[in-house]
Amino acid sequence: MRRTIVNDPEDLVPEALEGLVLSHPLLLTHDEEHRYVTRREPARDKVGLVSGGGSGHEPLHAGFVGTGMLDVAVAGAVFASPTALQVLEATKAADSGRGVVQIVKNYTGDVLNFRIAGEISGDDAIDTEIVLVDDDLATDTDDGSGPGRRGTAATVIVEKLCGAAAEAGASLPEV
């Protein structure tokens, strides 16, 4: 007998995002199609902050959307990066005209899709910068046979530092 609290594995991510938003209706909203969570009242005249990654480790990153933190968190499928289209739409949602910082964990899919979205967002006149988090020494090997340094625990600290700087009015390069 299978014992889980998951209704249907296919619905896990959308249900998790919906549950988070329903538990904080005055603070958050979400885009069901592109699977991102954003502030209910978008911040204006500041650098936007977007982060995200594969689902399965909630509330990272959606639990850190709010004042002084992220403006938008985009959720991929379980253990899979969000698509470039998802990241692009999240980047558009975070932009208030001063550019967007994308905080990216050093996983191949995350790096690739955030970079693609950043390049495409330039077509919409959105300036983007990537902050790449690669703090995990456990996955780094001297001979290069491992996956390299991943982004793990430091990601939340980076999100907070960048969020505080953006909230204080720092420019895109300063954030």
Question: Total domain count for the chain?
Answer: 1
Q: What is the mean pLDDT of the chain?
A: 92
> pLDDT tens, 47-97?
999 999 999 877 689 999 999 999 999 999 998 999 999 999 999 999 999
Question: Which range marks the domain in which residue 53 is found?
Answer: 9-167
Closest of 59, 56, 25 to residue 39, by C-alpha: 25
In a domain? residue 1:
no
Write out pLDDT tens, residues 19-44. 999 999 999 999 999 999 999 998 89
Distance CA(13)–CA(169), nearest Å, equals: 33
Burial class (CB within 10 angstroms; exposed 0-12, middle 13-18, buried 19+) of 163: buried
Does residue 73 belong to any structural domain of this protein?
yes
Structure-block tokens of residue 104: 């990216």
- With respect to residue 174, please indicate whether it lies within any of the assigned structural domains: no
Q: What is the DSSP letter of 64?
A: G
Q: Which of 50, 105, 99 is nearest to 72 (CA)?
A: 50
Q: Which of 120, 72, 74, 114 is nearest to 93 (CA)?
A: 72
Q: What is the CATH number of the domain that holds 117?
A: 3.40.50.10440
- Dihedral pair phi/psi, residue 139, rounded to 5°: -95, 0
How far is residue 62's CA from residue 65's CA, in Å, rounded to a whole number?
A: 6
Cα gap 174→171, rounded to integer Å: 5
Q: What is the largest CA-CA distance in the chain?
A: 55
> What is the arithmetic mean of pLDDT over 131-160?
85
Beta strands in the chain (DSSP E): 28-31, 36-39, 48-55, 72-78, 100-105, 128-133
Q: Looking at the domain assignment, is residue 172 inside a domain?
A: no
